[in-house]
């Protein structure tokens, strides 16, 4: 037997061993076909992780009757100390609630550097801004769309529902400035019972 034949045999033996190990690993992932499997999923399975995801609390943030056109109210959501604003603009808004779909809520923090924009809300112009730090302006009728300025990300919009004249926050579309996850790194607001 030549040296080349010996190397070829050594290579094939190593490849066969690696293939066997790989197949053994696959059977542990996908099951070995035994009928006695209890159907439970590992803790890191996607469906198990989805069941464990924290959910946004549902909290009352205002009432339709108390929010007149042009009013701006602030509230914390979904964490204590994470300020947002609630307002009724003059026209219809994407994601707006109420009879005229004109009630909206957004994070108070500009997406550029986190400066507060709740003092610069102009419901009659359907705008928030310009931000006092770098002059970004957001369109409140179009999901917090950046109109001008340094920000490159839209203002996170708070999802709202109206039930019996009460306005509830139910979630956030977008990532709040300074957060890596909207529900972490703070105390969650107590959910409605």
- Residue 126 sits in the same domain as residue 145: yes
Q: pLDDT (tens digit, 9 = 90+) per residue, 128-166?
A: 999 999 999 999 999 999 999 999 999 999 999 999 999
- The answer to whether residues 8 and 99 belong to one domain is no
Q: Looking at the structure, do residues 85 and 117 belong to the same domain, yes or no?
A: yes
pTM for this structure?
0.72
CATH number at residue 96: 2.102.10.10
Residue 180 lies in a domain: no
* pLDDT on residue 43: 62
Residues 6 or more apart whose Cβ sits within 8 Å of residue 109 = 83, 115, 116, 117, 176, 177, 178
Per-state percent for the chain, helix, strand, coil, to nearest 5: 20, 25, 50
Same domain (yes/no): 47, 80: no
Tell me whether residue 181 is in a domain. Answer: no
Classify residue 192: in a domain, yes or no: no
CA distance 101 to 6: 78
Residues 78 and 140 in one domain: yes
Lowest mean pLDDT among 20-29, 99-108, 165-174: 20-29
What is the residue range of 21's domain?
3-51
For residue 90, the 8-state DSSP code is S
Residue 173 has pLDDT above 70, yes or no: yes
**Residue 191 is assigned to a structural domain of this protein:** no
Whether residue 46 sits in one domain with residue 103: no
* DSSP SS3 for 108: coil
Q: Are 64 and 170 in contact (CB under 8 A)?
A: no
Say if residue 109 is in the same domain as residue 68. yes
Q: How many domains does the chain have?
A: 2
């Amino acid at each position: 037997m030549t040296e080349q034949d010996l190397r070829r045999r050594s290579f094939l033996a190593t490849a066969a061993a690696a293939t066997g190990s790989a197949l053994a690993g696959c059977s542990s992932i996908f099951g070995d076909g035994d009928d006695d499997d209890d159907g439970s999923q590992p803790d890191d399975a996607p469906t198990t992780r989805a069941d464990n995801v924290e959910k946004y609390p549902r909290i009352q943030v205002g009432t339709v009757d108390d929010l007149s056109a042009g009013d701006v109210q602030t509230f914390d959501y979904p964490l204590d100390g994470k300020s947002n604003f609630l307002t009724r603009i003059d026209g219809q808004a994407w994601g707006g609630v109420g009879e005229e779909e004109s009630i909206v809520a957004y994070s108070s923090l500009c997406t550029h550097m986190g400066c507060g924009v709740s003092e610069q809300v102009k419901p009659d112009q359907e705008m928030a801004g310009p931000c006092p730090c770098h002059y970004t302006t957001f369109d409140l009728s179009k999901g917090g769309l950046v109109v001008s300025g340094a920000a490159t990300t839209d203002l996170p919009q708070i999802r709202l529902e109206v039930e019996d004249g009460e306005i509830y926050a139910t979630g956030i579309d977008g990532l709040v400035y300074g957060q890596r996850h909207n529900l972490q790194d703070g105390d969650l607001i107590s959910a409605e019972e």
